[in-house]
């Protein structure tokens, strides 16, 4: 590939990984809960608080939950949580807050089942690997959240450590 040695004026074909194209417009947010005892369930929601025209394209989700029961994910027009955790953040620290809010709801029940949030049929099952967490990174948008919608993630069985984080790009619908 012919190129300029200084890199100022590249010529020819330039191959870059997909995440590199998004770095100027990436944002993230999440919620993590650790309780020493009990069968806890948490609903973590990424809500698109834009009023119109902006979609949130989710490229990565981190899930955590003791026991490796995985997490269910679905989208709808509900906030999903009773508590606003906060506004998401841009990867670039010099930019203002992006669209996107994290909402959460937590409940403790007597046993590890059933999930009190009673999720609808999930659009995705996100695995967690045992007593740990895992990050799922997609080369394409795994979820596209229109304005006024939310992506919800909840653990499938009771846990002491649980939560979810989202990495996404803002884009025009």
Q: Does some domain include residue 69?
A: yes
CB proximity list for 17: less than 8 A, separation 6 or greater = none
For the stretch 107-165, pLDDT in tens is: 888 766 777 887 777 778 887 766 667 888 888 899 999 999 999 998 887 777 778 89
How many whole angstroms separate alpha carbon 169 and alpha carbon 80? 21
pLDDT for position 35 = 76
pLDDT for position 21 = 55
Q: Quick check: 13 pLDDT over 90?
A: no
Q: Does some domain include residue 158?
A: yes
Q: Does some domain include residue 131?
A: yes
Q: Does some domain include residue 37?
A: yes
CB atoms within 10 A of CB 170: 19
Q: Does some domain include residue 70?
A: yes
Q: Quick check: 98 pLDDT over 80?
A: yes
pLDDT for position 125 = 80
For the stretch 14-59, pLDDT in tens is: 666 655 555 667 899 998 887 767 788 889 999 999 998 899 999 9
Q: Does some domain include residue 26?
A: yes
Q: Quick check: 1 pLDDT over 50?
A: no
Residue ranges making up the domain that contains 59: 18-172
Based on the structure, what is the number of domains in the chain? 1
Q: Is 35 exposed, middle or buried (0-12, 13-18, 19+ CB in 10 A)?
A: middle
Q: Does some domain include residue 64?
A: yes
């Amino acid at each position: 590939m012919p190129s300029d040695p200084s890199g100022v004026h590249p010529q020819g074909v330039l191959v870059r990984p997909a995440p590199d194209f998004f770095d100027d417009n990436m944002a993230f947010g999440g919620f993590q809960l650790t309780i020493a005892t009990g069968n806890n369930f948490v609903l973590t929601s990424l809500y698109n608080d834009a009023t119109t025209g902006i979609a949130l394209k989710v490229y990565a989700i981190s899930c955590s939950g003791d026991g490796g029961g995985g997490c269910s994910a679905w989208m709808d027009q509900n906030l999903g949580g009773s508590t606003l955790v906060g506004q998401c953040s841009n990867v670039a620290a010099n930019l203002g807050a992006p669209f996107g809010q994290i909402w959460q709801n937590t409940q403790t029940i007597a046993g590890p089942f059933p999930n009190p949030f009673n999720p609808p049929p999930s659009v995705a099952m996100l695995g967690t690997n045992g007593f740990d967490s895992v990050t799922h990174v997609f080369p394409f948008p795994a979820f596209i959240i229109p304005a006024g919608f939310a992506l919800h993630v909840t653990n499938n069985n009771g846990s002491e450590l649980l939560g979810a984080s989202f990495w996404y790009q803002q884009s025009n619908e």
